[in-house]
């Protein structure tokens, strides 16, 4: 009987030590894994933000969904100004601006200190060119379709919405938001730790996950990790 009791006590002690060990290690291991996933998710959200900003600059609003956004990145182009030549300090001091220089006549050239008008016009140019959105923002080898999908999960997309609100002065303000909650992108990690983190953020009235932008309030497209 004594042997049985001692054995049970020994097992109980081992179990208690193990439970204490796990109570310490679970949050540590969860924190490490969460950090890895956070970095990958944030990188994707930053890419989505870059694409959405380019979309708005071109179309005046944000894309409503990933089909619209990814098509634009694949097929769209960005207008850019190709610059050749710069104005000298002397020319600037004489009042020459880029706008004047582009429309400069030969008769007006001397008052800006330009001796050879034709050489100046040949070496000072501003041309509009169009470059691929994909190459300009991400590089030609970037996998555009992967932008919509949450890292570490199979076939799970980020949640994304766009909206237009009225400012206090009555101006339309386009907004967008892309997000993913803890319970989705941390799936497979310690369930209780996910619940704890979610409750903690909800108690502080914060979004329980990672997101960029805001569909209700203008926040300059900031991420909630920034």
pLDDT in tens, 16-49: 554 554 555 566 788 889 999 999 999 999 999 9
Are 123 and 159 in a shared domain?
no
Rounded Cα–Cα distance for residues 134 and 57 (Å) = 15
The mean pLDDT of the chain is 88
Whether residue 145 lies inside any domain: the answer is: yes
Whether residue 219 lies inside any domain: the answer is: no
Are 89 and 123 in a shared domain?
yes
Whether residue 17 lies inside any domain: the answer is: no
Are 118 and 191 in a shared domain?
no
In the predicted structure, residue 101 carries a pLDDT above the cut 90: no
Structure pTM? 0.77
Are 56 and 143 in a shared domain?
yes
Read off the pLDDT of residues 129-157 as tens digits, 9 standing for 90 and up: 888 999 999 998 999 999 999 999 989 99
Rounded Cα–Cα distance for residues 72 and 55 (Å) = 7
Are 59 and 89 in a shared domain?
no
Q: SS3 of 170, please?
A: coil
Whether residue 169 lies inside any domain: the answer is: yes
Are 47 and 141 in a shared domain?
yes
Structural domain ending residue among the three candidates 112, 135, 158: 135
Are 57 and 169 in a shared domain?
yes
pLDDT on residue 29: 84
pLDDT on residue 200: 93
Whether residue 9 lies inside any domain: the answer is: no
* pLDDT above 90 as % of the chain: 60
Extended beta strands in the chain, E state: 77-84, 125-132, 159-166, 172-181, 209-213
Handedness of CA 38, 41, 47, 50 (dihedral sign): negative
Instruction: Supply the range of the domain harboring residue 203.
Output: 27-76+137-213
Whether residue 96 lies inside any domain: the answer is: yes
Q: Which of 189, 162, 203, 3 lies closest to 72, judged by CA?
A: 162
pLDDT on residue 79: 82
Are 65 and 151 in a shared domain?
yes
Are 128 and 142 in a shared domain?
no
Structural domain ending residue among the three candidates 101, 135, 169: 135
Whether residue 97 lies inside any domain: the answer is: yes
Please give the span between the terminal C-alpha atoms of the chain, in angstroms, as a whole number: 63
Rounded Cα–Cα distance for residues 144 and 149 (Å) = 10
Which string of b and e fits 189-208 if b means at least 16 CB within 10 Å? bbeebbeebbeebeeeeeeb
Are 92 and 159 in a shared domain?
no
Mean pLDDT of 105-121: 89
Structural domain ending residue among the three candidates 135, 168, 202: 135
| Residue 177 token pair | 């938001």
Going from the C-alpha of 172 to that of each of 137, 166, 183, the distances in angstroms are: 27, 5, 34
Are 40 and 141 in a shared domain?
yes
pLDDT on residue 5: 54
Domain count within the chain: 2
Are 116 and 141 in a shared domain?
no
pLDDT on residue 109: 87
Give 176-179's long-range contacts (Cβ < 8 A, gap of 24+).
176/52, 176/62, 176/63, 176/213, 176/215, 176/221, 177/211, 177/212, 177/213, 177/214, 177/215, 178/45, 178/48, 178/49, 178/52, 178/211, 178/212, 178/213, 179/207, 179/209, 179/210, 179/211, 179/212
């Amino acid at each position: 009987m004594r042997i049985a009791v001692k054995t049970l006590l020994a097992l109980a002690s081992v179990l208690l030590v193990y439970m204490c060990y796990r109570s310490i290690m679970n949050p540590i291991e969860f924190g490490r894994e969460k950090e890895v996933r956070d970095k990958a998710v944030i990188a994707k959200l930053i890419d989505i933000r870059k694409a959405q900003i380019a979309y708005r600059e071109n179309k005046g609003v944000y894309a409503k969904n990933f089909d619209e956004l990814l098509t634009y990145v694949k097929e769209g182009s960005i207008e850019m100004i190709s610059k050749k030549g710069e104005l000298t300090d002397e020319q600037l001091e004489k009042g020459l601006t880029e706008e004047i220089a582009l429309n400069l006549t030969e008769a007006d050239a001397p008052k800006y200190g330009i001796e050879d008008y034709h050489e100046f016009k040949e070496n000072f140019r501003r041309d509009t060119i169009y470059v691929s959105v994909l190459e300009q923002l991400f590089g030609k080898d970037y996998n555009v379709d992967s932008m919509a999908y949450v890292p570490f999960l199979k076939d799970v997309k980020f949640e994304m919405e766009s909206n237009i609100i009225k400012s206090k002065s009555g101006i339309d303000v386009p907004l967008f938001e892309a997000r993913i909650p803890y319970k989705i992108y941390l799936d497979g990690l310690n369930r209780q730790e996910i619940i704890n983190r979610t409750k903690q953020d909800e108690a502080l009235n914060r979004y329980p996950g990672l997101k960029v932008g805001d569909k209700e309030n203008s926040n300059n497209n900031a991420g909630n990790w920034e």
